[in-house]
Structure 1
Amino acid sequence: MAIVWALVAGLIVGLLAKLVLPGRQPVPLWLTVLIGAVGALLGNALASYLGVRHTGGIDWVRHLLQVGVAAVLIAAATPMYSGRRR
């Protein structure tokens, strides 16, 4: 069941990351989910390092870090897919 939740979180984080980036990113959905999951894991690690992973209420800083890391990863992956056709 943890794998399903990781994929759902990857989808949400990946799609939010694509929304904050300007322009169109021709990255396929499967890669968006994968990058979102990796971004969520790295964002959690960064939040732990900064000491903001567990706060009272909703962990907004942790979620912003997750989406930010995923946005950087999607921006890095976009040039590989910009010249390809579907």
Structure 2
Amino acid sequence: MGLLWTILVTIAVGLVIGFLGKAIAPGDRDNIPLWLTVVCGIVGAFVGSYVYYGLFGVADNYPNGDMYDTSRGLDLWRHVWQVGVAAVLVVVAATFTGRHTPRA
């Protein structure tokens, strides 16, 4: 049951972060498919957490912590980094898939 739960939570987090990334991405990025939005969100969550951990390290109360122990409580700045990375990935995905609205 643990692996199934991990997969479901990863997809749910990817969906939320992907949609937030799509919402803040500049321009018209609504034409990428849902599965690609989820992939951008999942990758954005992992890469954003890793970059944030690399820049700021772990919290003082977690001396042997990992990249998810960056603060004592809910770390909103880590989530901002995750959404920002997802927004960049949405822009890249929309560019490479070529599914954008043609200019008139």
* Fold match (TM-score > 0.5): yes
Measured on the aligned residues, the alpha-carbon RMSD in Å equals 1.9
Q: Which amino acid aligns with 1:41?
A: F
| Counterpart residue number, 2:73 | 57
| Counterpart residue number, 1:12 | 16
Ranges in structure 2 where 5+ consecutive residues have no aligned partner = 59-69
Counting helix residues as a fraction of each chain, which structure ranks higher?
1
| Counterpart residue number, 2:50 | 45
Matched position secondary structure for 2:15: helix
Matched position secondary structure for 2:89: helix
| Counterpart residue number, 1:24 | 28
Percent identical among aligned pairs is 39
Q: How many residues align?
A: 85
The 3 A distance-change label for structure 1 pair 48 and 83 is closer
1:22-81 CA-partner distances (Å, limit 9, x unpaired): 332111001100110000000110111012562133211100100000100110111233
Larger gyration radius, structure 1 or structure 2 = 2
Bigger mean CA offset, 51-60 vs 2-11: 51-60
Ranges in structure 1 where 5+ consecutive residues have no aligned partner = none
Which aligned segments of 4 or more residues in structure 1 are displaced greater than 6 angstroms? none
> Is the 2:32–2:97 contact (alpha carbons within 8 Å) kept by the matching residues of 1?
yes
> Is the 1:39–1:73 contact (alpha carbons within 8 Å) kept by the matching residues of 2?
yes
> Is the 1:12–1:36 contact (alpha carbons within 8 Å) kept by the matching residues of 2?
yes
